[in-house]
Amino acid sequence: MAILPFDDRDGQIWWDGKLTPWRDVRPHVLTHGLHYASAVFEGERAYAGNIFKLREHTERLISSGRILGFEIPYSADEIDAACKQVLAANGLTDAYVRPIAYRGSEMLAVSAQQTTVHLAIATWAWPNLFGANRMKGVRLGWAKWKRPHPETAPTASKAAGLYMIGTLSKHGVETEGFDDALMMDWRGRVAEATGANIFFVFDGELHTPIPDCFLDGITRRTVMKLARNRGFKVVERVILPEELAKASEVFLAGTAAEVTPVRQIGELTFSSGPITEALLADYEALVRMSPEEVQRLAA
């Protein structure tokens, strides 16, 4: 399959306050964000013209920046408006939206106090993280890298630097034929996949790890609410890898991954089941509702 490089596409990117032709958005190579990972980003999805949980994503973007010690120079209202504007300008209704905030070029050393903070927002069609594999269930391999202690890395931020171990983990298992990696945390507890949270069904209940060193995903919280609305018991707890053989269903939840059944983790196999199917259907229905309806259901 021919790859369409991300720097050579038609369209508009919102960059530092205005829509800019796609190919002209070229930060200088001596940009702090590139050298020192002083960058935070979001992954959002629009369905039928509405960006699902836009305000939550914008708030997480602002908060991710603050965790890295910088303030994005736009308000939440301005960022929301910019995300909507770039979606419309590209004529898209069902798409992925990627805002990224990064420190600029005024300083290029570990200290970055005088750098300005930039914001770019791009959007493109991206049906699902796992493409055609999604509905038959994805296969996860065991990651070699661990999610770090929250005093070792800014784990509550969607910081670009945290994806370094994600890419290494994912590449590691892709060479063995898996779709994604299941990461443990530094204590050896089950954490998450490289770009999505994970859920298990044990004895008819929905269990998921406590997000104390990785993102408490917006999709994760949405799925927990949908499950409770269905009357399923939801348990956040410490989950150890040796327990996974007893799970009857496993699925991932994330903006890009949506709700994706898991059919294999290393040597263990699973089949999709009624709880995964119910939550997948509920999620698909919810994301296509108007923002007002989503708000009303969440109340």
- For ligand PMP, the binding residue among 65, 195, 209, 261 (CB under 6 A) is 195
As measured in angstroms, the least distance from the Cβ of 28 to ligand PMP is 27
Closest approach of Cβ 209 to ligand PMP, in Å? 11
CA separation, residue 51 to residues 48, 131, 225, 247 (Å): 8, 20, 19, 33
Question: Residue 260: which of 268, 95, 56, 270 has the closest Cα?
Answer: 270
- Could you say which of 219, 260, 272, 276 contacts ligand PMP (CB under 6 A)? 219
Check binding of 120 to ligand PMP (CB under 6 A): no
* Closest CB to ligand PMP among residues 141, 254: 254
* Nearest distance from C-beta of residue 61 to ligand PMP, angstroms: 11
Q: Is position 157 an interface residue for ligand PMP (rule: CB under 6 A)?
A: no
**Active site members:** 158
Output b/e per residue, 98-113; b: 16+ Cβ within 10 A.
Answer: bbbbbbbbeebeeebe
Residue among 72 and 112 whose Cβ is closer to ligand PMP: 72
Note whether 123 binds ligand PMP by CB under 6 A: no
Nearest distance from residue 253's CB to ligand PMP, in Å?
6
Binding residue for ligand PMP, selected from 22, 130, 214, 283, defined by CB under 6 A: 214
Which range of residues in 119-127, 169-177, 188-196, 268-276 is near ligand PMP by CB under 6 A?
A: 188-196
Minimum CB distance to ligand PMP smaller for 197 or for 272:
197
Nearer to ligand PMP, 120 or 191 (CB): 191
215 binds ligand PMP (CB under 6 A): yes
The residue from 179, 185, 192, 282 that contacts ligand PMP (CB under 6 A) is 192
Which residues contact ligand PMP by CB under 6 A?
43, 158, 192, 195-197, 214-215, 217-220, 254-255
